[in-house]
Structure formats: structure tokens, C-alpha cells
């Protein structure tokens, strides 16, 4: 489509939809019109993609995830269709700014953080690599809460994203399936086999909403299928009371806002079974329509379990094969292992899902029976070869609880971690017992990011410089960013990149002014920590360093530091009081410092509200320092570290998660690392000899800073300050903040020094961009496709 054609289509479509002309239409109407043109255009390729998969019977993967976090989709769809420039120009000729329309689209925020965003980055890359792959999840009516600050406290507001209209989804009533909950089940002999007989309980209908996942200029459009709940027409009489109906609606109404914190609530378990059962049933129905032998299903279907939330896929698949398809248990189990694979995303103990037997019996009694049988057979089979201790530690059911990670590992052929260090910890420490039993199941797949979204879409200024300097092959082949290494000594390129960064900083400064009323200088260092608020991520250590600088400047206003703006973006789980206390403390400190005339704007602290994908797209291009300071071993991978590196930020990092691989990629001189290593952390655990109190007593700087939390220096944080102080002293500083603090300050001083030499700084920045290509999710999903899913690119895609 060319520009003239597009303008014509746009005017016509606007007239068809609203009987209006451009000059009369509001941005919402213009947005709807553009969205309608985009979606009706890719629809043809969408049906061709799935027809291709069906007709040529290609193996497909189904990525089961309880969270997807795509953010806005308009611009990304335009980019992937190859339309972005034409549409931008055409609209501008009609007097419309594309950016104004983009603002209209609500963020699709059906995820908490890293896990959900990763799932969406994968959806983009799977389609862009012409791989036959689908997403399977829940269509929450309310996404992750909106965050507001009231007197510095986090307040949560509901995220009503649907009433604004979701132009990308298609409801498919004809593809609905029924999901049965509750009641009881007993087994009856039937033609020599035991068959389940269900009593009571209730049946709901799962209705899919499909969204096209548009590949990058390759004609592939895959499907992300999100399930909504409905009351089946035939069952109306069972749902008479308002309460019954509400109970059903509740199933898909809200996303649990706890990142890495196991809720243990019955509704959550019901959500899990709901999207698992709906997804697995619809896959099996599809497969049966291909008229292939059931025994060969693993040659055509792969199911991926994204963290343990969909681990019941294993039992549901067994249920359908055994109860419905009459397969023998042993054969069904073999197929299940071949079809299923699992990714672990965290080693934090509180995030490892466990469900009580009673609750699972209550929600899905037949699934419980099957899990019990899996567990029984595991114990029986293992008993001939292995010692009882090992068996008791690895079995699924222990002390009345079902361990979902155990189910996921024992019922799949592949378990992977998300960065080298994380996968090694799984093998050698956290899941070592399982590794001893099944060494070949374990592997690593370092995370990746949707490279084009985080460069071309978020950072047009940098993209322009890159295109002029190294061409545009890096759009499709991200490792071609390496071509930039030929320009480390090219002053013109270094300055152009610096100019692009400055432009982005000015834009963010304007946003900060508009939203927070804080004046920040674009000449200052923009230092960024953006991620969920969690004790292990140590936003507190960042805050302590800010306080250190503040006290130093108060003592000696002439102290030579380059002005710095510390920018935070972070949501806390609503029930995570400690994390909320840290938010309050950061906000109060910001207030204190930003209004202190003694500081002469040398440091500014900005906590931006409601961190989400769209805000990330504004912050990341402007960032110069990337704070990746989790306690070593705790951050499975991190992905904001990759996005910030790609945008030329220098990483200040512990040797944790993917930071280690970033260091390998850029070289030690182009990253600043500090802090305890994995080995040192484990030595402390073993010897149990970390005394945070001693670090407090022996270090006057630490004393001065910690006292500020309880002596009124930071105003209005009486309770929060005490809670924070106590966590470090009375509760022994679980994440070694005091232990790592001095080394962190040393690293921060290195950053301050490096910034004085702007040429050196610009070189480091360029080298970071040049080496970010390996962290493209294109690359990551290729590894999953080859090693785990055994799927191949669609040969008839425009790239295949």
C-alpha cells in the first residue's frame, strides 16, 4: 500500500465507520479508523498462517502463560507490517499526528512484570521468526492495577482497559469449550477399565478471544488466545442467584497482582485450571480434526508451561488421553512427557507454588486424582533404584501439599532456567535432586527482548543514527548491531549517538515536568531503576546511596559530583507492606532533596507513577545508567537490563542473572560491577556468619544513613522508617544491603568519574548498543524451537 492509497482508504473507512470527515473526528475515532484498517489488512495473512499450519500439518507450540503483557499494539503492528513510515507521513498530510492516536490505545497490562513481558516479547519473536506458535492465557477484565501516589503512599486503582474498546481481539463463540469445576468423582469399572463418574459441581463455558500476533515483515500472523468465562445457555437454571453468577464472572475478572508471591487462594487455582483446561481441550479437538493417530501427537504439538501456573496442563492432558480417549496410562504418560516442557522463572522460595490437597480436590477433583496417581507411580518406580530420602524430597505430594514445580519437572521432557547462572543454580542447588534423577532434562535458555520494540519503536532518534551508520540489516538480524564496533573511534558517530540520547533526555525531562512538576536538567546523568519493587532487587540500596550523596553535599556544597537525576519506576504488590514502605521512603526523600536549596540541583529524585510498558518506552531511551543491583543469585535473569543496554545505558550491576552475560558481551571495561558473588552469598548461608549489626556499628556512613530513617531526617516516615530500619538490623538484612553498600558506593563513584570523560562515556555507550544483539528474543525463541519444541519455521512464509 502506498501513501496515496492509504490516505484514500483512511478517508473512506472513517466515512464508513462514523460518517465523518477528518476535520470532524476526535482522536478516538481516528484511532479506531486506523486500527480497523490495520486489523482488516492483516486478517488475510492471519487466516493464511493458520490454514498453512493446518494443511501442511506443521508442528506447533502452544505457550501457556497466566500473564501476557503486550502494552500497546498499534505502533508495533504498523512496524511489523512495514507500514510505519508511510502511515506516519500519510496521516501527517491529513493533519493528524500518529503519536496522538497512539496515546489513545490503553496498555494491555495482563501481567505483573518480567514473566508476562517475556511472554509477549516471545509472541513477537515467534511470529517474526515464522515459527508456528500460539499463546494461551486469560482475558482478565481488569489488568494490573494503576498506581497513584497519595502523600507518597502507593494507592491502587482498577485498570479498566476493556470499556475503551479492544480493537485487536476477535471473539470466537464457535470455538468455546466447557470446563468442569468442583463436585466429586469416583471411579467405576466399565468394560474392564476404570472410568470417572462425576457428581455435582458446575460447568462454565470458556470463550476464546483471539489476537493476531504480527510477524516482522514476513506475512506471518500467529494467534494469542485469551479465554473469557461465560455461563453456558443450557446451564442457565443452575446459575439463578446473583451470587452464583458473580462467582462465575469472578473467574476471569482480575489478574493477581502479586509478583513472586504465592497467593494460595482458591480463585487463583480456579483461574489456573480454567485456562489450562480450556487450552488443552481446544488443542486436542484441533488435533483430532487432523485425523492423525493419537500416538503421534508429539510430532505435531508442543505445550510450553511458563512457570508453574499452567503446570496442571500435565494432569489435564493425562485426563483427556486416559478418560476421554481411552489410552492406557503408560502410553498417555509417554506422550505427555514428549509434549510438555517447562520454564522456571525464580528461585525465591515464596514464589514456588504449592496447593493443599483439600483445595485442589475442591476445585478440580479429577485432576487431583490424576496427580495422586502420577505421584504414586513415581514413588513406586523410583523405589527400586533410589534412596528414600531422594524420593521423598522429589515427589509431588508432601505433607498434604502439591508441589507444582515437582509436577512440572516430572511431567515434562525439559526444564530450563532463564540465564546461565540461574540454570546452573537450578541444576546444582535448588533442583539438584531432580537433576540427579533426570540430568538430560535440564537446560538453559537465556531470556531475550523484542529488539525492534525496544529500539525502533521506543527510540527513533537512536535508530536513525544506527541506520545511517551501519544500514538496517540489524532490524532483522539484531547481531548485526555489532557492525557498530567499527565506529568506536569515530567522533562523528559518537556525537550523533550522544545527540540522540540528549534529545530523548529532553523529552523525558518534559514528561517529568508535566507529570511531577519537577525540573530536571537534561545535562544531568539520568540514572534509572525500573522494575517491580522487591526487597531482593534492593531499591533500598539505591536510596541509601542517594542519601549518602545528600549528606555529603550538605556538609560540603562544593563537593564535585556531576549532577544526577535518580529515576524510579516500580509497583509494589498491594499486600507487600515492606515494599510499600520503601516507596513511601523514596517519595519522602525525593521531596526533601528536590526542595533543598543547598543541593543546587546536583541531585534530583524522581519516582514516576504507574510504571508500565508504555512508560518504559519513554524512560529507557533516555537512560544513561542502568541499575541492576539485586543480591547475587536472586534475580533469575532480568530483562530491563537488556533493554537499557540496547539503548546505550551503562550498567551498574551485581553478578546476578543476565548481568553476567551482559558483562561477557561488552567486556569488563564497559560495565561497572560490584558486590558479593554467588559463591560468597552461599558461603554466608553455609557459615551463617553475616551480622548486619556489625556492619552498622563499624561504618559511620551506614549509621548516619540508617538513622535518617528513624530520627526524623526523612520526614513523615515514622512507621515506614522503623520497618526499614528493623529489616536491616533486627531482622538481619536478608538481602545483604549493608554488606554490599560500600562496594556499591565505590561503583557509583566510578560512574561519576567516567562521566567526566564524555568521549569515553560515549564509547562505552556505543559498545553497549553494539553488543546487545545477542539478547534479541528472536535468538532466544530460535533456541527454544530447536532444542525444546522441535518446531521449524513455516516454509511458505515470505521469509521461509
Question: Could you say which residues in the range 267-326 bind ligand 26W, by CB under 6 A?
Answer: 307
Q: Which residue number places its CB atom closest to ligand 26W?
A: 114
Beta carbons of 526 and 505 less than 8 angstroms apart: yes
For residues 342 to 371, the per-residue mask of contacts with ligand 26W, x marking binding by CB under 6 A and - elsewhere, is: ---xx----x-x------------------
539 counts as binding ligand 26W under rule CB under 6 A: no
Q: Is 345 a catalytic residue?
A: yes
Distance CA 220, CA 147 (A): 36
Could you tell me the smallest distance in angstroms from the CB atom of residue 796 to ligand 26W? 32
State the catalytic residue, choosing from 33, 252, 343, 639: 639
Q: State how beta strands 672-673 and 650-653 pair.
A: parallel
Stretch that binds ligand 26W, among 108-116, 145-153, 432-440, 543-551 (CB under 6 A): 108-116
Beta carbons of 39 and 63 less than 8 angstroms apart: no
Choice from 619, 636, 714, 717 touching ligand 26W (CB under 6 A): 636
Beta carbons of 276 and 316 less than 8 angstroms apart: yes
Q: Which is nearer to ligand 26W, 351 or 371 (CB)?
A: 351
572 counts as binding ligand 26W under rule CB under 6 A: no
210 counts as binding ligand 26W under rule CB under 6 A: no
Choice from 124, 159, 262, 527 touching ligand 26W (CB under 6 A): 262
Q: Is 531 a catalytic residue?
A: yes
Q: Which is nearer to ligand 26W, 121 or 332 (CB)?
A: 121
Choice from 130, 394, 637, 771 touching ligand 26W (CB under 6 A): 637
258 counts as binding ligand 26W under rule CB under 6 A: yes
Place of cell 483427556: 320
Question: Could you say which residues in the range 648-707 bind ligand 26W, by CB under 6 A?
Answer: 657
Distance CA 758, CA 661 (A): 26
Stretch that binds ligand 26W, among 114-122, 189-197, 369-377, 464-472 (CB under 6 A): 114-122
Stretch that binds ligand 26W, among 259-267, 311-319, 690-698, 771-779 (CB under 6 A): 259-267
Q: Which is nearer to ligand 26W, 587 or 780 (CB)?
A: 780
Q: Which long-range contacts (CB under 8 A, 24 or more apart) does 761-764 make?
A: 761/650, 762/494, 762/495, 762/497, 762/498, 763/488, 763/494, 764/650, 764/669, 764/670
776 counts as binding ligand 26W under rule CB under 6 A: no
Could you tell me the smallest distance in angstroms from the CB atom of residue 708 to ligand 26W? 30
Could you tell me the smallest distance in angstroms from the CB atom of residue 713 to ligand 26W? 33
State the catalytic residue, choosing from 268, 445, 537, 564: 537
113 counts as binding ligand 26W under rule CB under 6 A: yes
How many residues line the site for ligand 26W (CB under 6 A)?
Answer: 23
- Residues 87-100 as b/e (b if ≥16 CB within 10 A, e otherwise) read bbebbeeeebebee
Give the other-Cβ count within 10 Å of 723's Cβ. 19
Cα–Cα distances in angstroms (integers) from residue 179 to residues 282, 393, 395, in the given order:
11, 33, 28
Q: What is the 3-state secondary structure (H, E, C) of 734-759?
A: CCCHHHHHHHHHHHHHHHHHHHHCHH
For residues 401 to 430, the per-residue mask of contacts with ligand 26W, x marking binding by CB under 6 A and - elsewhere, is: -----------------x------------
For residues 445 to 484, the per-residue mask of contacts with ligand 26W, x marking binding by CB under 6 A and - elsewhere, is: --x-------------------------------------
DSSP bridge partners of 401: 356, 398
Choice from 635, 720, 733, 740 touching ligand 26W (CB under 6 A): 635
Task: Please provide the DSSP assignment of 355-416 as one string.
Answer: EEHHHHHHH-HHHHHHHHHHHHHHHHHHTTTS-HHHHHHHSSEETTEEEHHHHHHHTSS-EE
Q: Is 57 a catalytic residue?
A: no
394 counts as binding ligand 26W under rule CB under 6 A: no
Choice from 77, 120, 260, 463 touching ligand 26W (CB under 6 A): 260
Q: What count of Cα atoms within 13 Å lies in the side-chain half-sphere of residue 657?
A: 26
Give the other-Cβ count within 10 Å of 233's Cβ. 7
39 counts as binding ligand 26W under rule CB under 6 A: no
Total number of residues shown for the chain: 800
Distance CA 682, CA 701 (A): 27
Beta carbons of 528 and 564 less than 8 angstroms apart: no
75 counts as binding ligand 26W under rule CB under 6 A: no
Distance CA 241, CA 506 (A): 57
Place of cell 542447588: 429
Would you please indicate which residues are annotated as catalytic (active-site) residues?
345, 531-532, 537, 639, 643
For binding to ligand 26W (CB under 6 A), which residues are involved?
112-115, 118, 258-262, 307, 345-346, 351, 353, 418, 447, 635-639, 657
Amino acid at each position: 500500500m502506498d501513501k496515496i492509497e492509504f490516505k484514500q482508504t483512511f478517508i473512506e473507512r472513517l466515512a464508513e465507520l462514523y460518517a465523518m470527515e477528518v476535520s470532524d473526528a476526535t482522536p478516538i475515532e481516528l484511532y479506531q479508523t486506523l486500527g480497523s484498517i490495520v486489523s482488516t489488512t492483516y486478517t488475510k495473512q492471519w487466516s493464511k498462517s493458520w490454514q498453512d499450519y493446518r494443511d501442511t500439518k506443521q508442528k506447533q507450540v502452544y505457550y501457556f502463560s497466566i500473564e501476557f503483557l503486550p502494552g500497546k499494539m498499534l505502533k508495533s503492528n504498523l512496524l511489523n507490517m512495514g507500514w510505519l513510515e508511510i502511515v506516519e507521513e500519510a496521516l501527517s498530510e491529513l493533519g493528524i499526528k500518529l503519536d496522538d492516536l497512539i496515546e489513545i490505545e490503553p496498555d494491555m497490562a495482563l501481567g505483573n512484570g518480567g514473566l508476562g513481558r517475556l511472554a509477549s516479547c516471545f509472541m513477537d519473536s515467534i511470529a517474526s521468526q515464522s515459527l508456528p506458535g500460539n499463546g494461551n492465557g486469560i482475558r482478565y477484565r481488569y489488568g494490573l492495577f494503576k498506581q497513584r501516589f497519595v502523600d507518597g503512599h502507593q494507592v491502587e486503582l482498577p485498570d479498566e482497559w476493556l470499556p475503551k474498546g479492544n480493537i485487536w481481539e476477535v471473539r470466537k463463540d464457535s470455538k468455546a469449550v466447557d470446563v468442569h469445576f468442583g463436585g466429586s468423582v469416583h471411579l467405576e469399572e466399565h468394560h474392564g477399565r476404570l472410568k470417572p463418574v462425576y457428581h455435582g459441581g458446575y460447568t462454565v463455558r470458556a470463550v476464546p478471544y483471539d489476537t493476531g500476533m504480527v510477524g516482522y515483515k514476513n506475512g506471518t500472523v500467529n494467534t494469542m488466545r485469551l479465554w473469557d468465562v461465560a455461563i453456558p445457555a443450557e446451564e442457565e437454571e443452575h446459575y439463578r442467584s446473583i451470587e452464583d453468577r458473580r462467582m462465575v464472572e469472578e473467574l476471569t475478572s482480575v489478574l493477581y497482582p502479586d509478583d513472586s508471591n504465592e497467593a494460595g487462594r482458591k480463585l487463583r487455582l480456579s483461574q489456573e485450571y480454567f485456562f489450562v483446561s480450556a487450552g488443552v481441550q481446544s488443542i486436542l479437538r484441533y488435533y483430532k480434526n487432523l485425523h492423525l493417530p493419537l500416538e503421534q501427537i508429539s510430532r505435531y504439538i508442543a505445550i510450553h508451561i511458563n512457570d508453574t501456573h499452567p503446570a496442571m496442563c500435565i494432569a489435564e492432558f493425562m485426563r483427556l488421553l486416559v478418560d476421554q480417549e481411552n489410552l492406557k496410562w503408560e502410553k498417555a504418560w509417554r506422550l505427555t512427557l514428549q509434549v510438555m516442557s517447562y520454564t522456571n522463572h525464580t528461585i525465591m522460595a515464596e514464589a514456588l507454588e504449592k496447593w493443599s490437597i483439600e483445595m485442589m480436590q475442591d476445585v478440580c477433583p479429577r485432576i487431583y486424582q490424576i496427580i495422586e496417581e502420577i505421584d504414586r507411580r513415581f514413588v513406586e518406580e523410583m523405589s527400586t533404584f533410589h534412596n528414600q530420602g531422594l524420593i521423598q524430597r522429589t515427589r509431588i505430594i508432601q505433607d498434604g501439599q502439591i508441589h507444582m514445580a515437582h509436577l512440572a519437572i516430572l511431567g515434562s521432557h525439559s526444564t530450563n532456567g532463564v540465564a546461565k547462572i540461574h540454570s546452573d543454580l537450578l541444576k546444582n542447588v535448588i533442583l539438584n535432586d531432580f537433576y540427579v534423577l533426570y540430568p538430560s532434562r535440564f537446560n538453559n535458555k537465556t531470556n531475550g527482548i523484542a529488539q525492534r520494540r525496544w529500539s525502533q519503536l521506543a527510540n527513533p532518534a537512536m535508530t536513525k543514527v544506527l541506520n545511517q551508520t551501519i544500514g538496517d540489516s540489524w532490524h532483522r538480524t539484531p547481531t548485526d548491531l555489532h557492525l557498530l564496533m567499527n565506529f568506536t573511534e569515530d567522533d562523528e558517530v559518537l556525537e550523533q549517538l550522544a545527540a540522540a540520547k540528549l534529545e530523548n533526555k529532553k523529552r523525558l525531562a518534559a514528561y517529568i515536568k508535566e507529570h511531577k512538576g519537577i525540573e530536571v536538567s537534561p545535562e544531568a546523568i539520568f540514572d534509572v531503576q525500573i522494575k517491580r519493587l522487591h526487597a531482593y532487587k534492593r531499591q533500598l540500596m539505591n536510596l541509601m546511596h542517594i542519601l549518602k550523596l545528600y549528606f555529603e553535599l550538605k556538609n560540603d556544597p562544593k563537593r564535585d559530583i556531576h549532577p544526577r537525576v535518580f529515576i524510579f519506576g516500580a509497583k509494589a504488590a498491594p499486600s507487600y507492606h515492606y515494599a510499600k514502605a520503601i516507596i513511601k521512603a523514596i517519595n519522602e526523600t525525593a521531596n526533601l532533596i528536590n526542595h533543598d536549596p543547598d543541593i543546587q540541583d546536583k541531585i534530583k529524585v524522581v519516582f514516576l507513577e504507574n510504571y508500565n510498558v508504555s512508560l518504559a518506552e519513554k524512560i529507557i531511551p533516555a537512560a544513561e545508567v542502568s541499575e541492576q543491583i539485586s543480591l547475587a543469585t536472586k534475580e533469575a535473569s532480568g530483562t530491563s537490563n537488556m533493554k537499557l543496554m540496547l539503548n546505550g545505558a551503562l550498567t551498574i550491576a551485581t553478578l546476578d542473572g543476565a548481568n553476567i552475560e551482559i558483562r561477557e558481551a561488552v567486556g569488563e571495561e564497559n560495565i561497572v560491577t560490584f558486590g558479593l558473588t554467588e559463591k560468597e552469598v552461599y558461603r554466608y548461608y553455609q557459615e551463617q556468619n553475616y551480622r548486619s549489626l556489625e556492619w552498622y556499628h563499624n561504618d559511620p556512613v551506614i549509621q548516619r544513613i540508617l538513622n535518617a530513617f528513624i530520627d526524623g531526617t526523612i520526614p513523615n516516615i515514622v512507621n515506614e522508617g522503623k520497618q526499614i530500619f528493623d529489616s536491616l538490623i533486627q531482622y538481619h538484612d536478608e538481602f545483604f544491603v549493608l554488606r554490599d553498600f560500600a562496594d556499591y558506593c565505590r561503583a557509583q563513584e566510578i560512574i561519576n568519574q567516567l562521566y567526566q570523560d564524555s568521549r569515553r562515556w560515549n564509547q562505552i555507550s556505543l559498545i553497549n548498543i553494539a553488543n546487545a544483539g545477542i539478547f534479541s528474543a528472536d535468538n532466544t525463541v530460535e533456541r527454544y524451537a530447536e532444542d525444546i519444541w522441535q518446531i521449524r519455521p513455516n516454509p511458505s512464509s515470505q521469509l521461509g
